[in-house]
Amino acid sequence: MSAAEATTAGSPTAATVPVIPGFHPDPSVCRVGDDYYLVNSSFEYVPGVPIWHSRDLVHWTQVGNVLTRDAQFPAARAGDSGGIYAPTLRHHDGRFWLITSDVTDEHGGHRLFSAPAIEGPWSDAIELPELRGIDPDLAWTDDGECLVTYCSWTDGASAAWQAAIDPDTGRVLEAPRKVWTGTGLGHTEGPHLVRHDGWWVLVAAEGGTERGHVVSVARSRDPRGPFENAPHNPAYTHRSTEHPVQNLGHADLVERPDGSWAAVHLGVRPRGMTPGYHVNGRETFVAEVDWVDGWPVFTASEATLPERAWDVDDRFEALHPRWVSPRRRIEEFARLVPDGLEVDGTGDGSGVYARLQSEHWTASIELDIDPGSVVHAEVRLDERHRAGVRLAGGRASAVWTVGGHVIDVGDGASDGPVGAGASVHHLEIASVPSSTGGPDDLVLSADGRRLGIVDGRYLSTEVAAGFTGRVVGVRVERGRALVRRVAIVEA
């Protein structure tokens, strides 16, 4: 679908709205026939590396996750914003390949997986301990050689390094070598090698993943380099502008069946007073790519996006791949039952969460709790930054955790006896326009009673730091809860 074909006057377009909103950073894309497949970073959350399918690069459906077993990713050891960074997805010789980095891995982190179909089964990890770094890419030369190009600080400043491997065994076939040092902006990362018209084009991110983030490109006739920088670098950025989408970077290019090209990349939507606050993480955007004198030239897509595509109304007849947990697989502490999802207390911060994808929204959670249980319906940014409604001891209270300090915002008696197994409770968290110059306010309610309001700045990346975004769901601190329904509706 071309941008012209997709544009409708007055409708939101991909120039300012992500095609996969919410905490879905570092997109990598490949095409097989008429089908596009895309993956994202997932950090400490499991199942890891969400998989998406599209026919037009605009309408996306999640079809699964790559990392579903401890043998693939032992998530328990990952800290906040640790774990899985920047995957690359490719299709070669009838097989899907995915390479990523686990930054908690003592060997340096690169892990290689493959599958006969996008739905899997995906293999256990092949580790590449000789290649120390992050953000690995896979590319095959005309003679079948498999090259891994990645970001490393082996001799000081970050740069793109490369080595040939045997993808079936993970054996590194040569000493790693530096192939590109960037343009001088610093923080060279996220390299991808793409073939076009006899050139090997190296697309990378530079400038750090904050407001200075850019897409830079270089090229060579040989995939091993040397690479020359594009005269128009940085090739794509919104830095130092008033554009509503900022922090552009981590672009991956794909050719459409009709011969035109596009790119997926990450960006954020900051809101509020300076410095601007983004809360839903780094999101996936799409851009158009034209080739001028052999160089890729990026322009924001004007494709029309579907409205209300990300509303959720889940009664847990099955466990949708959207549901994730930090550091612990959901099946270890939750199970599907006839009336919903039964969740056991863990006491370790794990829970059942979905990524938030709208700028303003209302999350409604309907649940029962066992006597003596302590249950949270909450928005989580990381372990030290969260806000929600706590049910315990016959009362509902609004609880805010900031910098690890727990604050009671307000409480009140529930309409029903909290802790009675037959009592169904309706908890609500709503993101509404900010009253303080922040990105939003979070209004916390239980059984129709407003309990408190939290300033959304304190659940933003600019305050809490890190690389993830907000998720919403249920955490059982002690006892057991039956989650009957979760609805997340764009406001």
Looking only at Cα atoms, what is the longest distance across the chain? 72
60, 38 Cβ separation under 8 angstroms? yes
Q: CA 347, 352, 354, 360 torsion: positive or negative?
A: negative
Of 26, 80, 252, 428, the catalytic one is 26
Of 135, 189, 314, 368, the catalytic one is 189
26 is an active site residue: yes
- 53: tokens are 């399918």
* Beta-strand pair 340-344/61-67: unpaired
* Beta-strand pair 334-337/159-166: unpaired
35 is an active site residue: no
Known catalytic residues are 26, 189
